[in-house]
Amino acid sequence: MRKSLLALVAAILLVGCGSQAEVSKPRRVEMQTTMGSITLELSDLTPGHRDNFMQLVEEHYFDSLLFHRVIENFMIQGGDPRTRDISGREFNADGEETGNPRYWEDIPAEILFPALHHHRGALAAAREGDGVNPERRSSRTQFYIVWGRTFTDEQLDAQQQRITMATRGTVVLPDSIREVYKTTGGTPHLDGQYTVFGHVVSGLDVVDKIQRSATDSLDRPVEDVRILSVKEIFE
């Protein structure tokens, strides 16, 4: 009788644990822009970047910032605090001028290739170049969303040579990821060098519209493309 009772209690606990695991889902945010809405899912494989991004969302940090760097067939980039105002001054979400140095800090890299790679729609952290940032630490605030293009096998072989030089031979594109770049597209030359920490769930058409924007000589859209708001969503 005692054994049966213990077995029953254990079964109840297992069911409870299973239900709790099922409820836990990756965090998602909705980014409203002047060109439409983009839904992003953050990866639990990169908890440092996930938690940092969510903290910025909760602070309404991204609200009113521009996509300040846009390159067709490559990516769209945002998160620079100076783009809240055309003068280049920094403002917080309440419109108060600030020079908060925390926004200029960087955070440790969480580069997890091949689990996370630069397919079309990937969300990744911008950073300073290797010359001044050999640890490839990420910007705390600046991010980019990949658009890229598709590649042939011959073009991917050339991309692999580029990756090999940049990573000293430590990053090799497996066949499964080569297939993604041949069919879906992306920016393979960045793999193993920048932290990918999420991806677009819906709104790739909006990313497409933004990446097609006419830009000036500094890759800034001629007509402002602004982030209106970012908020967590629960589905």
pLDDT tens series, the chain, 235 aa: 455 544 444 444 444 444 444 558 999 999 999 999 999 999 999 999 999 999 999 999 999 999 999 999 999 999 998 898 765 555 555 656 555 656 678 999 999 999 999 999 999 999 999 999 999 999 999 999 999 999 999 999 999 999 999 999 999 999 999 999 999 999 999 999 999 999 999 999 999 999 999 999 999 999 999 999 999 999 7
Q: Looking at this protein, which amino acid is placed at residue 84?
A: R
Q: Looking at this protein, which amino acid is placed at residue 165?
A: M
Q: What are phi and psi of 145, to 5 degrees?
A: -115, 125
Q: What are phi and psi of 89, to 5 degrees?
A: -80, 160
Cβ neighbours of residue 78 under 8 Å, at least 6 residues apart? 62, 65, 66, 67, 68, 142, 143, 144, 227
Q: Looking at this protein, which amino acid is placed at residue 200?
A: V
DSSP-based three-state secondary structure for 55: helix
The residues that bridge with 146 in the sheet, in sequence order, are 75
Q: Looking at this protein, which amino acid is placed at residue 33?
A: T
Among 169, 219, 163, smallest CA distance to 194 is for 163
The C-alpha atoms of residue 75 and residue 65 are separated, in whole angstroms, by: 17
Global pTM reads 0.86
DSSP string, the chain: -HHHHHHHHHHHHHHHHHHHHHH----EEEEEETTEEEEEEE-TT-HHHHHHHHHHHHTTTTTT-BEEEEETTTEEEE--GGGGSTT---B-TTS-B---GGGG-EE-----TTTS--BTTEEEE----TTT-TT-PEESS-EEEE--B---HHHHHHHHHHHHHHHTT-----HHHHHHHHHT-B-GGGTTTS-EEEEEEE-HHHHHHHHTS-B-TTS-BSS--BEEEEEEE--
In this structure, are residues 126 and 138 in contact, taking their beta carbons and an 8 Å threshold? yes
In this structure, are residues 73 and 150 in contact, taking their beta carbons and an 8 Å threshold? no
